[in-house]
Structure 1
Amino acid sequence: MRILDKYIVKELLGPFIFGIASFSSVFIGTSTLMKIAQYVTQYGASLSSVVKLFIYSLPPIVVLTFPMSMLLAALLAFGRLSGSSEITAMRSGGISFYRLSAPVFVIAFFVSIFAVFFSEMVVPQSNSAYNYVVRYEIQRNTAPKSQEHIIIKDVKGDMLERLTYARKFEEETNTMYAVAMQEFENGTLVRVENAEKAVWQDNHWTMINGIIHDLTAEGNLERTMHFEQQIMPMAKAPSAISREQKKPDEMTIKELKQHIKILQREYVNAKKYEMELQQRLAIPVASFVFALIGTPLGLQPNRSSSSIGLGISIIIIFVYYAIMTVFTALGQGGALPVVLAAWVPNIIGIIAGALLVRKASR
């Protein structure tokens, strides 16, 4: 790494860390602490539960601040260099805009990659732990009494042995409705069972009014049988099923893809999960997009004030997330393809950044 690169990286590092701390504090103060206060006053949450909630809330907040912090770092770093005429001296020495901005774009690229892995490896587990504390330690009333689109996986070793889907599950009556069960042998689908409902009684599930389809190894229908009652080979109790169900933000990318595939197979709207999947990638990539915008803006003359840089950051962030909110609603509502809706904010940001870079490089 050349001296110039080290110098620019050093200028970026401080504002980037400051941005993570500052924006995280805003999220914590406006959302997390208010929720925790509500749990304390309404449910009498213990100190240990409060500490757990605070810790588990940090990863999803931090990953959201990466793009914001990258924007702030680029604006403040180049704003200071520009204000002290160091940029002018560098440009006079024959250093082009692209050479000056290269360290920023490289760092932003690696921040985006890190954010993707962080969102995949840490955030889902953190969200799951947070919801567990709320549900079982604070509210103490387990899961909701009625849940929709239940998916239960039985895995033996590394192989999926059985996959069960229920359109609705009522824990009060221990009943699943519109049940579809798929059985696998060595990864091959060999049987499909559909039933009007399944009831938990005498420590087992009984499917009622259904049909069985046996399949050959090639996937062709071998035989069909109707039944009034059929004991399911699944032995999971209703309480265990409730605990296994995950929200979209608790799932990994692999789990989201599997969930979407199952819901689509049952002709259930899966756009909420599709949007979560796309945003799991789109939001981390925003770190690079914001660097593309912030770097040329920071090179503008008379941009040495940190308060100006912070103000510009807030405006850009507000516009970006306003666009994201609107297009998320359009994607989930079916007005736009989910992939397009999730990536429109980044596409707009890339176009704006490219225009700014072109102007700054002249």
Structure 2
Amino acid sequence: MIKRLVDLFFRINFRITLLDRYIIKELIPKFFFSVVICSIVAEVVGISFEEIKFAIEEDLSTAIAVYTHWLKLPAFICIVLPFTLLISNLLVYQKLSSKNEIIALQSIGISLYRLSIPSLAIACVAMIFMFTIQEVIVPPANYEAAINLERELNVDRTQLAKYNKKEIIYQEFETEENRKHLKILFFAERFDGKKMLEITLLKFKNKQLRQIILARSAQWDKKQQKWQLFSGVSNILNPEGDYISTRKFEQLPLNLGRKVFDYASDDRDHREMNIIELYRRLALVRDTANTKKVREIEISIQQRYAAPVSCMIFTLLGSALGINSKRKAKYNSFTVAAIVIVVYCCAQFVSTTLSVSQAISIFWGVWFPNLLGLSIGYFILMRKN
């Protein structure tokens, strides 16, 4: 089987034809021009209004504002990259149609599918480029931009409501006969960046509750690699659930592990983490029984894969809509591009919202806009061909 695949690979003709060079030569200038224009517009709309408010109310310096724009630029390039592929392909293929070049190429047996291959090749390169940028450059740049603004405005990130964790739940399980049973249930009402407050700890043995510990606070001890509980009471129970003993303590060490500390102390937004860090974050959150948070991270991870793939989808849509057998198109390319972008964004918003609310699965919530665009693009191209 492997030998056949290798033989098939070497039989494929990767030679770039004159037609390919011609289409690529037409596409590249329009693509870069669209990237520049769309990135500037997106950045102006996305940042400036917020920074004007900061500049007026908080006396934000010009240097910080310019530096924030610079750090946010890679993120906006990744956002607009699929849209620029749509616009550039629309312009190029409409130009070919208006000069009757599409009809001429079809008359010598070249199908519309073959005409779209050069643009899809460029989209493939753009997809790899986008994935690399969004994972290597965008997360640290977003984090640096946020930290600089917070430093300029004298904001302590650990005190923000967004990162000041409430109702922290952590669980540990033991496996018996291929079944998981609860071993430890840890609950804290709040984490202030250094200490867990109002602790409740339940310990189970043989599927029965055997110990209840209540404490005013808990803090991670880096040297001993243990939790230290302060000002609390420890209750021991028998298998029937009756209290055997009650003991007050001022300080009590606890072998719980630092997973719960890593979960509670993480102060980065999803946009400030790459996909590897998101997977690590997901592994931590799964132990905390926070199903809503788990779903949000899983959606963010899927979006990291879906966003670069949208480069291929918008390229297919652009070439399919731009190709026309008539001399003049009945529509303006920018109007069509605007409609496609709005429809795509609306579909993305609705499907993501339904996915977060668990009305539909994560796969359909994230990938539905791409699948919809792929179906429409292929259907249009097939009809025209």
Q: Structure 1-normalised TM-score?
A: 0.77
2:271 is aligned with 1:256:
no
CA contact (8 A) 1:19 1:73 kept: yes
- Aligned pairs for 1:176-325 (under 5 A) are 176=197, 198-199=217-218, 206-208=228-230, 228=249, 229-230=251-252, 245-268=267-290, 269-270=292-293, 271-301=295-325, 308-325=332-349
Q: 1:355 to 1:306 in 2, by over 3 A?
A: closer
Report the residue type matching 1:80 in the other structure.
K
Q: 1:196 to 1:318 in 2, by over 3 A?
A: farther
Q: Aligned-pair distance for 1:196?
A: 5.4
- Aligned pairs for 1:139-158 (under 5 A) are 139-146=154-161, 147-148=164-165
The one of 340, 351, 358 equivalent to 1:334 is 358
- Aligned pairs for 1:25-174 (under 5 A) are 25-146=40-161, 147-148=164-165, 168-171=190-193, 174=195
Kindly provide the CA deviation profile for residues 2-42 of structure 1, in whole angstroms up to 9, marking residues without a partner as x: 22111101111122112212222221222211111111112
Kindly provide the CA deviation profile for residues 148-180 of structure 1, in whole angstroms up to 9, marking residues without a partner as x: 2789xxxxxxxxxxxx99773125x85456599
Match of residue 155 from structure 1: none
Q: 1:20 to 1:242 in 2, by over 3 A?
A: farther
Report the residue type matching 1:338 in the other structure.
I
Kindly provide the CA deviation profile for residues 50-107 of structure 1, in whole angstroms up to 9, marking residues without a partner as x: 1211111111111011110111111110001111112222222222212211111111
Q: Aligned-pair distance for 1:140?
A: 3.8
Match of residue 186 from structure 1: none
The number of equivalent residue pairs is 317
- Equivalent position SS for 1:6: helix
Q: 1:195 to 1:3 in 2, by over 3 A?
A: farther
Match of residue 25 from structure 2: 10
Report the residue type matching 2:51 in the other structure.
I
Q: 1:292 to 1:177 in 2, by over 3 A?
A: farther
Q: What is the alpha-carbon distance in structure 1 between the residues aligned to residue 333 and residue 324 of structure 2?
A: 11
Q: What is the alpha-carbon distance in structure 2 between the residues aligned to residue 299 and residue 202 of structure 1?
A: 66
Kindly provide the CA deviation profile for residues 227-249 of structure 1, in whole angstroms up to 9, marking residues without a partner as x: 95335899x9xxx9998511111
- Equivalent position SS for 2:332: helix
Q: What is the alpha-carbon distance in structure 2 between the residues aligned to residue 210 and residue 79 of structure 1?
A: 76
Report the residue type matching 2:76 in the other structure.
I
Q: Aligned-pair distance for 1:143?
A: 3.5
Q: 1:227 to 1:22 in 2, by over 3 A?
A: farther
Kindly provide the CA deviation profile for residues 203-234 of structure 1, in whole angstroms up to 9, marking residues without a partner as x: 997324599xxxxxxxxxxxxxx995335899
Query: Where do 5+ consecutive residues of structure 2 fail to align?
Result: 1-15, 170-185, 202-212, 235-246
Kindly provide the CA deviation profile for residues 321-341 of structure 1, in whole angstroms up to 9, marking residues without a partner as x: 110011111111111111220
Q: Percent identity?
A: 25
Q: Aligned-pair distance for 1:141?
A: 4.0
Q: Aligned-pair distance for 1:346?
A: 0.6
Q: Aligned-pair distance for 1:290?
A: 0.9
Report the residue type matching 1:169 in the other structure.
F
Q: What is the alpha-carbon distance in structure 1 between the residues aligned to residue 322 and residue 158 of structure 2?
A: 50
Q: 1:336 to 1:139 in 2, by over 3 A?
A: farther
Q: Structure 2-normalised TM-score?
A: 0.73
Q: 1:128 to 1:242 in 2, by over 3 A?
A: farther
CA contact (8 A) 2:221 2:228 kept: no
Report the structure number with the largest CA radius of gyration: 2
Q: What is the alpha-carbon distance in structure 2 between the residues aligned to residue 292 and residue 278 of structure 1?
A: 21
- Equivalent position SS for 1:95: coil
Report the residue type matching 1:317 in the other structure.
I
- Equivalent position SS for 1:143: helix
Q: Aligned-pair distance for 1:360?
A: 2.2
2:35 is aligned with 1:20:
yes
Q: Aligned-pair distance for 1:310?
A: 1.1
Report the residue type matching 2:334 in the other structure.
L
Q: Aligned-pair distance for 1:291?
A: 1.2
Report the residue type matching 2:352 in the other structure.
T
Match of residue 209 from structure 2: none
Report the residue type matching 2:384 in the other structure.
A
CA contact (8 A) 1:83 1:304 kept: yes
Q: 1:53 to 1:177 in 2, by over 3 A?
A: farther
Kindly provide the CA deviation profile for residues 268-307 of structure 1, in whole angstroms up to 9, marking residues without a partner as x: 0222211111111111111101111111211124576798
